[in-house]
Structures are given as structure tokens and as C-alpha cells.
Structure 1
Amino acid sequence: MFWRMAGLSTTSPVEAILDKENFTLEELLDEDEIIQECKALNTRLINFLREKAQVEQLVRYIVEEPPEDAEKSQTFKFPFIACEIFTCEVDIILKTLVEDEELMNLLFSFLDSKHSHSTLLAGYFSKVVICLLLRKTVPFMQYVKSHQEIVKQLVDLIGITSIMEVLIRLIGADEHMFSSHKDSMQWMEDTDVLDMIVDKFSSSDSPEVHANAAEMLCAITCSALPGLAAKISSPSFVGRLFHHALEDSRPKSVLVNSLSVCISLLDPKRIMLGAYHMYNRQLTQGSTITANPETVEGMLESLGELLKLLEVSSVETTLPTTYGKLQPPLGKHRLKIVEFISVLLTVGSEAAEKELIQLGALQKILDLFFLYPYNNFLHHHVESIVVSCLESKKAFLVEHLLHECDLVGKILEAEKNFKLTSDLSKPTVAAEGRSPPKIGNIGHLTHVSTKLVQLGNNNAEVQAYLQENNEWTDWHANVLSKRNVIENVYQWACGRPTALQDRTRDSDDDDYHDRDYDVAALANNLNQAFRFGVYSNDDMDEVLFRIF
């Protein structure tokens, strides 16, 4: 605890300024301790800053570009300090701003199309607006409702990420905002904000605009007003998305980001989970996604046109790599199409599954899997597709994989020819003058093969099909079984895996005996290291201490 003692207390520089007869706002903004004093609710300082003239000047620092000949403090420091004063969330200062229409008009003048929108000021603007939205929700939403052109202005600037964050909260895609102030935000359902956002796919060629528009729509699919959520999942809206995605004249970023929205419509939780967790969820839980059947039907109408793009790369150039060259690379758009198909199959829609079989989608995707043996993103999605088909236990899907797609034959062929080809007609070619490396999808083939064996144990038809193939039987007995034993990390005698098993002892002595390393082996390794000069005599005691 610190004790205030006479003669030792120091006066804040802010207080020294406030003690002057005549002082300016700039003098306070130039003082480093002003934010600390605001947070401490310094009464004299708050009473000065709450005045309309001071609030207006603070807003001007945030929304108006400084003159070219302005000093650095006016260009950088004052806007930052002004933003921080508002985000200190001093109620009386926020009240002065939000309850004065002239000041609110000045704040939102930043969105005017004639205004310059620097990234720096856009960040300050968004922080202040979000602060008002969170702390003064009701009067703020009343102001926006009476000035609905603000919504359009925000959409027009959606390419600026900080502006997009404002829009996400404003339309109720922020779960906390929607749950706490549902009545104040209900009017947003009657606006055409969704139409304005999706039209950005056709009116702009900027990849940043497409990405932010897609993120907005994905956020709405996860948490939004019921009216907006129903509209975005309607077949007509999905049809508009695919219409923009499949336009020949549009950049490929439109296709990639439109499909991201479709994926989010099928699986809204996907956007809130990392790719690794999504991948594990798909492989371990099977078809766990429940999607609106009408939404799925709306996607199937354009599925044929979409699958045609799997045969076309957006980049017709050669890409050199460490293992050889790609001619052409797979491309983001084809990867996104495969991801979309993998999510579509997890929905469990029989109509979608039959449509994919009829269009030959699974065959095309499996071909890409073997043509691009080093694209791990592709391999994850393809493995998810195969596992979804096998775990669905639908006879027509399994038969299609085994017979029309010849899954077993392709696995065996890849296992026999496990080195990268030098065939110039293939998209992935080994580097000249080097020994061809091993293909990089063997691990995924092992997972798929193991899943096939597990399915055969519970399905007499699959078991009979596998046993009829002598090559498969021999490979399973001599290669796959041994590989699974070797790669079973939970049987290793070192490292963390065995430590993850349930422990039944708690004492230090029992914990010592329950460790997953061999002390004798470690001591032997230490002797070897010492013998070859890894450790000096001076280091020996310290090393022994750390081990034992």
C-alpha cells in the first residue's frame, strides 16, 4: 500500500493546466496524462471536456483530415487522444455527443462520398461509433433510424475493414448487441441492407470489398435478426450469390467469397471455429450439420455450372516449387469449390448427393487429389468428402466410390507409384536433375484406407468387394496394418501421447514411476552427448540436475 505523505505528493500536469486562467483544449491533448485523468474521472477535466465546443473539436480531430502543413501532433497525436477520450466511456461526455444532432451529423459526415477516408481516421471513427453503439444503444439507434442513408454509406465503404465492423454490429450480427437490444434493432429487418451488400460483388472489382462483403454475410448467417437470417437463407438470395459467382467477366475473388457465404449458410458454426477444429469435427462426427432444405435446393440449381470450373485453372502460368513445378497451380477458386462440396456432403441431403453423383463431381475431385499430391488443403477436403460418403452408410454413395470412382484401384496405384512423376502432361512435375520425391498425400490415403477397412467390418458387401481384390488383401496385410501399428502414437514409449492417458496416482513418488520416459535411456544418451563434447565438465552437474 502506498501512503500519501505531506511534501511527497505531486500535482498532475493536467491539474496545472486546469489551474491556468486561460488554457486551450490542445494544451490538454498534448499532455500525456490526460487519458489517465479521464479514466480516474477528474471532475474539473470532465466538466471541461463535456462542453459542446470541446466535444465538437474532439470529433473534428477524428473525422477531418489535418492540413498538409499541420504539425505532427495535430496529424497523429490529437486524433488518437480524442478517440481515446471517447472510448474511456465517460457517460457525461458520450451523452453530450449522442444527444446533440449537430454533433452526430458532424461525426457521420466522415461517411460522405466526397470525404477522404484514410485508414487511420476510419479506425478512430469506428471505435467511437462502436463505443456509442454499445454504451448509448437506444439514442444511437434512434438517430440512425431517422438517418437511414447511413446504412448505405457504410455499405459503400465496406472495403475498409473498420467500417465493416461498425456495420456488423449495427445490423445485429453481433450476438451480444442483438440479445441485449432486440427492440431497438428490429427496424433493420425492413431495410434492404442485404441487397446492398450482395450487390457489391457486381459493382466492385476490389478483392477487399468482396472479402469484407462475404464476411458480413457470413456473420449474418451466424447471428442476426430473424428477418435477415430468413432472407439470406432463401433460395432466391442463394441464386443471386451464384449468379454473381459464375459471371465470366467477374474476378475470381467474387467466386471464392460467394462460396464462403454458401458454406456458412450450410454450416454457420464453421466461421466461429478454426480450420483445424472444423477438419477434426468433420472427420470424427460425420454428418452433424443440419441445413435448411430450401437453401440446399437453391444451391443445386447452379451446381453443374460450378463444377465445370474444376476443369479450368484461373492461372495458366507455371509455378516453380521446391519439389518441381505446377503447370498450372490448383488455384484458390478450385480449392474453394472442393471445400464447398465437402461441406455440402456433410449436410446429408440425398438430393445433393445424387446430383453430385450424376454430375461426376466425386470423380473430378478424386482426380485432383492425385494430380496435386502436395496440396494439403485439397487433401484435407477430399478426405473429408470420402469419409462423409463412407460414414453416411448409404449404399449408392459407397458403391459409387468403389465402382465408378475406383477408389481402391487409385489408392493401390498411388501406393505402387509413390514418387512424383516426370510426365510433362501432368500438372505436378518433378524438378529436372533431381531424384523424384515421394508424393505428399500418403498419410491421407492411409486414413481413407483405414476407414474403408472399418466400414468393411460392418458391411458384408464392402468386405466381399475388398476381399475379392487380391492386390488389396496383400497390401492391407503387409503394408497398411503394419503402417497403422507404427503410426499409432499412443503406443509410443516417449513424448506426450501416453501422458494423455488417465492417471490413477497422485503422489510425487507414483508420478515419478508413471512418467513416459526411460530414465536409464536418458542417462545413456547423456553419456553419449558428453562423450562427443556436447557438454563440458562444468555443465554436467546442471544437466544431471535438470534430468533427475
Structure 2
Amino acid sequence: MFWRMAGLSTASPVETILDRDNFTMEELLDEDEIIQECKALNSRLINFLSGKAQVEQLVRYIVEEAPEDAEKKRTFKFPFIACEIFTCEVDSILKTLVEDEELMSLLFSFLDPNNSHGNLLAGYFSKVVVCLLLRKTGPFMQYVQAHQEIVKKLVELIGITSIMEVLIRLIGADEHMYANHVDAMQWIEETDVLEMIVDKFSSSDSPEVHTNTAETLCAITRFAPAGLSAKICSPSFIGRLFCHALEDSRPKSVLVNSLSICISLLDPSRISFGAYHSYNRQMTNGSAVTANPETVEGMLESLGDLLKLLDVSSAENLLPTTYGKLQPPLGKHRLKIVEFISVLLTVGSEAAEKKLIDFGAVQRIINLFFEYPYNNFLHHHVETIIISCLESKSSSLREHILRDCDFVGKIIQAEKNFTLEAGTDKPTSPAEGKSPPRIGSIGHLTRISNKLIQLGNNNSVIQEHLQGISEWTDWYMSVLSNRNAVENVSQWACGRPTALHDRNRDSDEDDFQDRDYDVAALANNLSQAFRYGIYNNDDDMEEVHGSLERDDEVYFYFPIKW
């Protein structure tokens, strides 16, 4: 942007267009400086664009698809410029739009079922609506309250991510909106918007719809007002959610995304979906989460039917891999069930722990750990489950892991047979004609073993159990201790002089002012460089060229401080 100075500036192209008697909106929108002039609050331009006819034309560019034979400017540039003009947040332009019933009806006509709802215009529509919602909250919410069918139309188009973002803002699932405009958004709590959203799991087969539905409901669990939060945590809503998830005729994406909602209800701080979030919690020794007891009870009613899905009777699915084949693969739905169990155990519910023991869920999950030795996502969740059981206040859960599941014995067995077995009935088998690879769960088993030893120092039950297994003692002394010594990264030199390992830096300034270099190595490199003739004068250029063709490697060694 160039600043205009008095006496030196030339007339703005926008001003030139406004000076003409007859100009069109297209000519004005085609001018490159129109957005800058809007942001600079050019009074003549703002007064012109604030007229109802001009605002209507801008809205039409956003909500109406261009004809097939239209120029590229009409298809791409004019809708973009129109959206940018609105999002410049000029008060008079937004006021003209939000206070006019016809213009607002034209804007929301984009949601009509007959429209094409292309992603490009959907993005522009979303930006304009969110801008009105943030800057003209009162009159905007009054209009939506008077036309509540808008909420239903937004839910119907939840598969479009831009529309989903509008819906999230509208229902108050935004950390800023509801806190600043409680009165204007109170009426949302009295609608059946939650039921409309969750029922998209049964009315649509689109994975995009299921994913956006889950993301919307997860946003509600984190930021929604008290009324909606109470509804989504109620046993009746949980039952409705599991009814859709466990229906046999529905795609597996319904189950996966429904469990994402349940996980968010148990632990609203889990903003990201996926495995690594729980892994980070476990590595940082995250404290147990607190969940509504009624919510947990509602989930436990369907727990038995959910755990049945961990058993796959059909082995028809075959997935070839670099190390062999999976028959059947684990599948996203089984992985999500394991993640759900891992979060459920962090709640510390005695009823949940008892049901998991009665159903044999933990034992089945541990078997999956060894049946799929290369699924790191699964290993992260199972590690969290085992550590939660070992750290549980419930002695029965701890006894279940150590004695009923014989997890220590499974660790020793896996360490003895650390390569993938061939010719077994397990779902993971090595490729034919190749030597079986090393199983990929050794690192997790090592970390769990170290956790067992750590907990055994403060827990007599764990300590007595470990001491009662002679193979464990031998394996710990001969294998685990050596492995821990090798994998202790604080002892790795990483190319640094060992004399620098124990130096402590108080600040970055000390590190800058006090640098240690290997002077002997530096001097040796310099002497070699001069010996090879690299630093000769101009008269010895031939010798220099000859030295550069040598295969000897001349280098300077500067230790790096981390």
C-alpha cells in the first residue's frame, strides 16, 4: 500500500470512477484498489456502497451462482470482492444489510434446497454471516429467532464445512460469543437443535456429514451454554447417540464419530481427535478427568453391545502390507472403541471399572495389542489403559491386569519371541519368502515395564507379584537394565565433546559469551588446508586447482551447543 502525501499524490482510480456520471457496479468492483479504499473509509465510496440497491447487488454476487457462459470476473472476482467489502466491517454497510428484512431474506436464500451450494460461494456466505453475527449480534439474532427455519436449513447442510462453522457460532459453541451476548442467544437452548444435529447420523450416509456432525457436537461439549450442555450430557441424549452408533445398517463412520462425541463428553479438553492426544496426556502424567456421573451411566448401558464389536468373526478382509498381511485389519471402529475405553478408565468410575472387568474388555484389548504388533495408534491407547489400571484406586482392577490378564507373562513371552510368528491363527502374519521382522511394540512394552517397576516401589501388591515371577527378575537384570542404559538419551554424545555434557548454562547470554571450540581439531584442519595449497597466492593458481581435485576432505569442526 502506498501512502498518499499532500501535493504529491495522484487521483485514486476509485475516485475517478465515482466522478463519472454513469458508472456500473461491475466497473467499481473491477478496480483493484476498492478494498483498500473501503478499509481507508473513503466517504464517497462508503456512501455509495451503503445504498440498498448496491448492498443487494453485492449479496447477489455471493448467494447466486454465475451463469455458465459468464465471464471469469463474474464467476470468481466479483463474488470475492463483494465478500471482502462486507468483511471490511464498515458499520453503515453492515447496518443496511442486517436491518433490512428483504436483504436478510436474500442472504439466507442461499440455504434453500434448490440451490447448488458450491463450496466457493458457501465460503463467502459463511464469512459474511459470521461477520454479521460478531459485529451486529443483537439485530442478527433477532432476525434468526424470528425465522427459526434457518437453523434447520443449516443443519441440513452440515456436511459443508463452511456451513458447519456458521452453525457452531450460531448455537453458542464458541468461547467468545455466548459470554458476551447471553440474552440474545438464550432462545437457542429452548430449540431441539441438538436432536436435529444428532439425527444426521441416521438420515445421511455421507462420511463428511458424520464428521462435521461430530465436530459440531464436540464443540458444544466444550463451549456451549449451560442449557445445551445439560441436554447433551443427559442419559437420554447418550442413549439416542448410541442407538444410531450401534445400528447394524449404518456405516462404520457413524460409530467412529459417535465415539468421538462420547470421548469429548468424558474429557472436553481433548480438542484433537486421534491417538496422539491421549499419548501426550500419558507421557505428561495427566491427572484424571472428571465427568458427569449421569453421562457415564448412560454410556455404560450400551457398553456390552459396544464391546461385542471388538470381536470380528469374519476374516474375509485382507490388507497386504510391507511386512506381511493383515487378515482382518484392525479397522477404525475397533481402534476408536479402544480409545473410548482408555478415556473411560481415566474418569475413575467404579461402575465403569466393574463392567469392564465383567465383560472382559481389558483382556480382549490386551490381546489386540499383541495380535496387531505394528499398529502404533493401538499401542498408545492400550498403554494408557494399562497404566490407568495399574494406577487405579481400585485393587480389583489392578489384580485383574496382573493375575487374570497375566500381562507380565505376556511381556516376557513377547520378549522371548520378538519376531513376527508365521503359520499362526493371529491376524498379522509375515510375508512369504522373507525373514520375519521384529515386532513393533517392544518400545511400548519397555515403557510399561519401567512403569511397573516404578509403581512397584510404592505398591506392595505389584512388587510381590513381580518378585514371584523368576523369569521377570532374570529378564529385568539381563535385558531391561541394559536396554534402559542404551536408550538413556541424556548420556548420548551426539557429536559433542564429552567435556561439555556437564556444563550448565544459566542463560542464553552466557552461552553466547562463552563458547568452547575444539581448538586442537581446528588447528589441525587449518594446517591441512594450508598444506594442500588452498590458501596460496595468485601465482600458484595451478597448484590450488590441483589441490581442489584431491579426494581428501578438508573441514572445520565447530561443536554445536544445544
- Specify the TM-score bucket, using the shorter chain as the normaliser: over 0.9
Aligned residue for 2:506?
504
Aligned residue for 2:253?
253
Task: Give yes or no for contact 1:283–1:387 (8 Å, CA) kept in 2.
Answer: no
Task: Give yes or no for contact 2:157–2:163 (8 Å, CA) kept in 1.
Answer: yes
Aligned residue for 2:5?
4
Aligned residue for 1:15?
15
**Which one is further off, 467-476 or 385-394?**
385-394
SS of residue in 2 equivalent to 1:269: coil
SS of residue in 2 equivalent to 1:325: strand
Task: Give yes or no for contact 2:344–2:352 (8 Å, CA) kept in 1.
Answer: yes
Aligned residue for 2:209?
209
1: distance between equivalents of 2:358 and 2:519? 60
Aligned residue for 2:162?
162
Query: What is the deviation of 1:222?
Result: 0.2
The equivalences for 1:256-335 within 5 A come to: 256-271=256-271, 276-312=276-312, 316-335=316-335
Aligned residue for 2:108?
108
SS of residue in 2 equivalent to 1:429: strand
- Provide the alpha-carbon RMSD of the alignment: 2.9
Task: Give yes or no for contact 2:242–2:258 (8 Å, CA) kept in 1.
Answer: yes
Task: Give yes or no for contact 1:252–1:333 (8 Å, CA) kept in 2.
Answer: yes
2: distance between equivalents of 1:465 and 1:300? 31
Query: What is the deviation of 1:29?
Result: 0.8
Once the two structures are superposed, residues 177-227 of structure 1 have per-residue CA deviations (whole angstroms, 9 ceiling, x without a partner) of 011111110110000000000100111111111110111100000011110
Query: What is the deviation of 1:9?
Result: 2.0
Query: What is the deviation of 1:507?
Result: 2.9
Once the two structures are superposed, residues 251-310 of structure 1 have per-residue CA deviations (whole angstroms, 9 ceiling, x without a partner) of 000000000000000000002698545422234335420000110000001101000000
Aligned residue for 2:479?
479
SS of residue in 2 equivalent to 1:493: coil
SS of residue in 1 equivalent to 2:117: coil
2: distance between equivalents of 1:89 and 1:176? 18
Aligned residue for 1:372?
372
2: distance between equivalents of 1:338 and 1:526? 60
Task: Give yes or no for contact 1:214–1:257 (8 Å, CA) kept in 2.
Answer: yes
Query: What is the deviation of 1:314?
Result: 9.0
5+ unaligned residues in a row in structure 1: which ranges? none
Aligned residue for 1:406?
406
Query: What is the deviation of 1:520?
Result: 6.8
C-alpha distance 509-86 of structure 1, shift in aligned 2 (>3 A): closer
Query: What is the deviation of 1:422?
Result: 1.7
5+ unaligned residues in a row in structure 2: which ranges? 533-547
Once the two structures are superposed, residues 97-142 of structure 1 have per-residue CA deviations (whole angstroms, 9 ceiling, x without a partner) of 0000100000000111122211111111000000000000000000
Query: What is the deviation of 1:11?
Result: 2.1
SS of residue in 2 equivalent to 1:402: helix
**Which one is further off, 35-44 or 9-18?**
9-18
Task: Give yes or no for contact 1:168–1:216 (8 Å, CA) kept in 2.
Answer: yes
1: distance between equivalents of 2:64 and 2:502? 58
1: distance between equivalents of 2:247 and 2:104? 41
2: distance between equivalents of 1:545 and 1:63? 62
The equivalences for 1:327-346 within 5 A come to: 327-346=327-346
C-alpha distance 98-435 of structure 1, shift in aligned 2 (>3 A): same
Task: Give yes or no for contact 1:420–1:438 (8 Å, CA) kept in 2.
Answer: yes
Aligned residue pair count:
540
C-alpha distance 406-545 of structure 1, shift in aligned 2 (>3 A): closer
2: distance between equivalents of 1:538 and 1:203? 71
Task: Give yes or no for contact 2:260–2:273 (8 Å, CA) kept in 1.
Answer: no
Query: What is the deviation of 1:435?
Result: 1.4
1: distance between equivalents of 2:495 and 2:237? 51
C-alpha distance 525-252 of structure 1, shift in aligned 2 (>3 A): farther
Larger-Rg structure? 2
C-alpha distance 380-527 of structure 1, shift in aligned 2 (>3 A): farther
2: distance between equivalents of 1:522 and 1:110? 71
**Which one is further off, 93-102 or 69-78?**
69-78
Query: What is the deviation of 1:457?
Result: 1.2
Aligned residue for 2:539?
none
SS of residue in 1 equivalent to 2:70: coil
Aligned residue for 1:444?
444
Aligned residue for 2:352?
352
2: distance between equivalents of 1:78 and 1:314? 56
SS of residue in 2 equivalent to 1:175: coil
Query: What is the deviation of 1:12?
Result: 1.8
Query: What is the deviation of 1:313?
Result: 7.8
SS of residue in 1 equivalent to 2:515: helix
Task: Give yes or no for contact 2:63–2:121 (8 Å, CA) kept in 1.
Answer: yes
So what's the TM-score if we normalise by structure 2?
A: 0.90
Task: Give yes or no for contact 1:313–1:330 (8 Å, CA) kept in 2.
Answer: no
2: distance between equivalents of 1:251 and 1:189? 30
Task: Give yes or no for contact 2:275–2:381 (8 Å, CA) kept in 1.
Answer: no
2: distance between equivalents of 1:48 and 1:252? 54
Query: What is the deviation of 1:504?
Result: 3.1
C-alpha distance 229-68 of structure 1, shift in aligned 2 (>3 A): same
C-alpha distance 521-446 of structure 1, shift in aligned 2 (>3 A): farther
What residue identity is the alignment partner of 2:5? Answer: R
What residue identity is the alignment partner of 1:95? Answer: K
Aligned residue for 1:390?
390
Query: What is the deviation of 1:454?
Result: 1.1
Aligned residue for 2:218?
218
Aligned residue for 1:82?
82
Identical aligned pairs, as a percentage?
A: 74
SS of residue in 2 equivalent to 1:59: helix
Aligned residue for 2:544?
none
Is residue 138 of structure 1 aligned with residue 155 of structure 2?
A: no
Once the two structures are superposed, residues 486-544 of structure 1 have per-residue CA deviations (whole angstroms, 9 ceiling, x without a partner) of 21212323389x9899633653577425x9xx78789999999999xxx9889988845
What residue identity is the alignment partner of 1:323? Answer: Y
Aligned residue for 2:35?
35
Aligned residue for 2:227?
227
C-alpha distance 508-225 of structure 1, shift in aligned 2 (>3 A): closer
Aligned residue for 2:199?
199
So what's the TM-score if we normalise by structure 1?
A: 0.92
2: distance between equivalents of 1:486 and 1:510? 34
